[in-house]
Amino acid sequence: MPAEPNVSHAKPRCSCVALLGTALGVLSLALPWLTLRTSRLAAGEGVLLWDVAGPAVVAVVALGWFAALVSSFDANTQRRALTLGVCGTLLAPLTLLIAGSGSTSLLSSAEEFARSSLGPGIWVGLIATYVLLHTARQSLGAQPFLRNVFTWAPLATIVAIGMTGAYNDLSLAREFSGNESRFAQEALTHIALSLGSVAIGACIAVPLGIAATRSRRAERPIFIIASAIETIPSLALFGLIIAPLSALSYAYPALREAGIRGVGITPALIALVLYSLLPIVHNTYVGLKEVSPAAMDAGRGMGMSRAQLARRVEFPLAAPLIAEGVRTASVQSIGNTAVAALIGAGGLGHFIFQGLGQAAPDLILLGALPVIALALLVDIIMRAAIAALTPRGMHTEATT
Amino acid sequence: MIAIENVTKQYGRTVAVSDLTMVVGDGELCVLIGPSGCGKTTTLRMINRLVEPTDGRIVINGSDNRTSRPETLRRSIGYAIQSVGLFPHMTVEQNIGAVPSILGWERTAIAKRGRELLELVGLDPDAYAAKYPSELSGGEAQRIGVARALAADPPILLMDEPFGAVDPLTREMLQRQFMEIQTRLKKTIVLVTHDLDEAIRMADKVAVMRSGSLVQYDTPEMLLSQPADSFVRDFVGADRALKRLSRIPVTTLMKPAKCIKRGELSRTDCTRALPRYVWVVDGEGRLLGWTDTTQGPPTESWRMDEKELDRVSVRDTASLREALSHMLGQGVRSVPVISTDRRLLGEVTLRDIEEATVE
């Protein structure tokens, strides 16, 4: 354990990051928390925190941020982390709860089609609580239990409050309930399209990566093509594929009958597969190249055949890096799939573009927020899976 | 027996090994030595066909090594290299079991063999079997490397600087331990090194190579006393007389040492015909140190500090070179030889060593 700084020559340090978070939190109090519109498409007017919440609630929120402010200057790292963590854990759900109940009270006195959306104050406040929780978790490096508490407790509370229907009067929730069946369908399409394309991409990219390590001649073209694809903006790539695909589908009616047309799932899938190639090819290549030559020599010298060497030494050692490539490709693909809605492939991007078309910000959010959540979720799950599947011997090697 | 017959290896125009002929007898430890690029590693790798010769043939125990598939051949030959090349994703036990597992041994047999070998190389099976290579020190890793090479009990062992990547102290310890194993197992070993001391300490025969050819193939004693040409003479160095000493165990020149038992010496004895400095032992004959008899008899509980004792004495497994180095380092003319349990066996004197080197 490092010595406490109170006896050393160093100045007692405050946490700059925590201070920044607190400043954001205090700022959020001055910003409009909700936006009230007469209809879902109308321009809105900002509503401040004290217009929707009683003095007691305002006092609690202000007290929370004040506590965070004070503890930012706390030189005792452990105590600071705990205070910040507790503040964040309480403030994040509280902020959303105020948004939900505030909307309910606003709408009860407004016209029939009025909408209440999250205002800048809420967003800034949520970002600020995230900063607090993040700082707390960073300083709790050696205490995984507390780290987990400060990750999952706020999330669980937010979800639990949501289950009670407290957010139902928010415009976002209204958009959701208006599109409920469509939402489930598009979310499934999104998941299937993004992860399916990565699965297909991996089946192509891993052999390509192997080819690149095995043959000098193949190495350059493989990387040139894969990198070139990556530089094409996603929208352009979708467009590029439409033309040849529709020509094909015109020329061969059998293709058209099989559902392969210039627009729709097929071109999106092709483009997404192409996008997933580079990260996986690259990581396969690096993973295989980084296998210790000494281990390979020892394997060969002890009489392993080529196949045994690949199965017992080369691939197990390269696997964690290859899986990292698949993870990168998956996260990237979830984002790109949002764009695929433009060429009629569906997915959560559907709501984003519909919202853009109608200038309905909450409909955009209905598409955008789940895409972000999905990307984060896939990232967390795959990281955990990779960590769990990597042999212990290779973990320690990576950290030392 | 390994017979290398007129073997040549060319890479394009470069000749790595040229018309090499030599025989390694059963149970012999043959060291290939020479400056880098002399073809010693290439020669080693041609034996298990990691490198195929351009010309000539290698006969192992009567049959050409090209009669079976290279994989089959290699599985019957142990292989240990300087960089060790342990598989980082496998435990120590799995690493040692690599060859047995390719050979299709039963799981329980592999585990049993792994524990046997860990004990053989002096590592506690309970503590080490489940470790991963990243958790081992350099010396431990090299021991596991040797254990892995011995796993399927191959009659032949090929070793490419197997003790190369560790500090000198650990290296000497590993070499000594390996020699103990070798005297028991009597494997036919070809070992590549560029460390002359290692060659002289371990080899039954040393093959000195230069630019792909064999310059001299002899016992270490012959190599040191009768270098074939100026190249070998330069290679073994001006201190070859000293190096020869490292081949001779202290026990060959050891004589009984004058010693007294602690507590069995009266003041009058001290003034008698005893030499001024004598070794002191306890009731069981264990060395306690030396004493100056003019200062009177040592007390009942007198003993020298253990570290100090280690500095002034040598083990019976040591070489004359170590004994000499002890004497020069301590500025004394004799050194006591002790057994593992510190019993005083005798002493070696500077004069005896002088006489032995002159002959």
Cα–Cα distance, A393 to B2 (Å, whole number): 38
Residue B87, pLDDT > 50, answer: yes
In chain A, the domains with their CATH numbers are 16-168 (1.20.140), 180-399 (1.10.3720.10)
Q: Which two tokens stand for residue B164?
A: 């190369």
Identify all chain A residues contacting B133, using CB atoms and an 8 Å cutoff. Answer: 393
**Does B88 contact A397 at a Cβ distance shorter than 8 Å?**
yes
Residue B268 confidence (pLDDT): 55
> Residue A30 burial (CB < 10 Å; 0-12/13-18/19+)?
exposed
Q: Please give the interface size between A and B, counted as residue pairs whose CB atoms are below 8 Å apart.
A: 88
CA contacts within 13 A on the Cβ side of B320: 22
Q: Residue B20: which region, alpha, beta or left (left: phi > 0; alpha: psi -120 to 50)?
A: beta
**Does A313 contact B135 at a Cβ distance shorter than 8 Å?**
no
Residue B315 confidence (pLDDT): 86
Backbone angles phi, psi at A262, to 5 degrees: -65, -30
Q: Residue A297: which region, alpha, beta or left (left: phi > 0; alpha: psi -120 to 50)?
A: alpha
CB A357 within 8 A of CB A255: no
Identify all chain A residues contacting B75, using CB atoms and an 8 Å cutoff. Answer: 302-303
Pick from A157-171, B198-212, B296-310, B329-343: least confident: B296-310
Greater confidence (B93 vs A262) lies with: B93
Any idea of the CA torsion for B20, B24, B30, B32, to the nearest 10 degrees?
A: 10
Residue A316, pLDDT > 80, answer: yes
Residue A5 confidence (pLDDT): 44
ipTM of the complex: 0.74
Q: Which two tokens stand for residue A166?
A: 């407290």
Q: Which two tokens stand for residue A385?
A: 């899976």
Pick from A34-38, B152-156, B268-272: least confident: B268-272
Residue B270, pLDDT > 60, answer: no
The candidate with the shortest Cα–Cα distance to B282, out of B307, B296, B303, B308, is B303
**Does A296 contact B85 at a Cβ distance shorter than 8 Å?**
yes
Question: Which residue carries 């047999």 as its tokens?
Answer: B109
Residue B306 confidence (pLDDT): 78
Query: Sorting pLDDT into bands at 50, 70 and 90, what band is B101?
Result: very high
Mean pLDDT score, B335-359:
83
Amino acid at A390: T
Residue A14 confidence (pLDDT): 67
pLDDT digits (tens, 9 = 90+) for A182-236: 999 999 999 999 999 999 999 999 999 999 998 888 889 999 998 888 888 888 8
Residue B300, pLDDT > 80, answer: no
N-terminal to C-terminal alpha carbon distance within chain B: 35
Cα–Cα distance, B183 to B187 (Å, whole number): 9
Residue A1 confidence (pLDDT): 41
Average pLDDT, chain A: 87
CB B334 within 8 A of CB B350: yes
CB B181 within 8 A of CB B159: no
Q: Which residues contact B240 (CB under 8 A, 6 or more apart)?
A: B224, B225, B227, B233
Question: What is the Cα A19 distance to its own chain's centre?
Answer: 25
pTM above 0.90, yes or no: no
Residue A2 confidence (pLDDT): 45
Helices (H), chain B: 40-47, 70-75, 92-96, 98-102, 107-120, 125-128, 138-149, 168-185, 196-202, 220-225, 230-236, 240-245, 267-271, 306-312, 320-330, 350-358
Residue A51, pLDDT > 90, answer: no
A400 → chain B, closest CA residue: B134
Residue B271, pLDDT > 60, answer: no
Q: Among B89, B131, B158, which would you mutate to test the A interface (most chain A Cβ atoms within 10 Å of its Cβ)?
A: B89
pLDDT digits (tens, 9 = 90+) for B221-232: 888 888 889 999
Residue A253 confidence (pLDDT): 82
Residue A397, pLDDT > 60, answer: no
Instruction: Using CB atoms, pick whichever of A297, A300, A302 lies closest to residue B99.
Output: A302
Mean pLDDT score, B300-326:
82
CB A336 within 8 A of CB A194: yes
Mean pLDDT score, B41-68:
93
Pick from A151-155, A189-193, A374-378, B244-248: least confident: B244-248
The candidate with the shortest Cα–Cα distance to A278, out of A189, A377, A194, A212, is A212
pLDDT digits (tens, 9 = 90+) for A257-315: 777 777 788 889 999 999 999 999 999 999 999 999 999 999 999 999 999 999 999 99
Q: For a pLDDT cut of 90, what percent of chain B falls above it? A: 48
pLDDT digits (tens, 9 = 90+) for A102-117: 998 888 888 888 888 8
Instruction: Using CB atoms, pick whichever of A294, A304, A305 lies closest to residue B81.
Output: A294
Identify all chain B residues contacting A301, using CB atoms and an 8 Å cutoff. Answer: 48, 50, 74, 79, 81, 158
Mean pLDDT score, A355-365:
88
Residue A361 confidence (pLDDT): 84
pLDDT digits (tens, 9 = 90+) for B276-291: 777 888 878 888 888 7
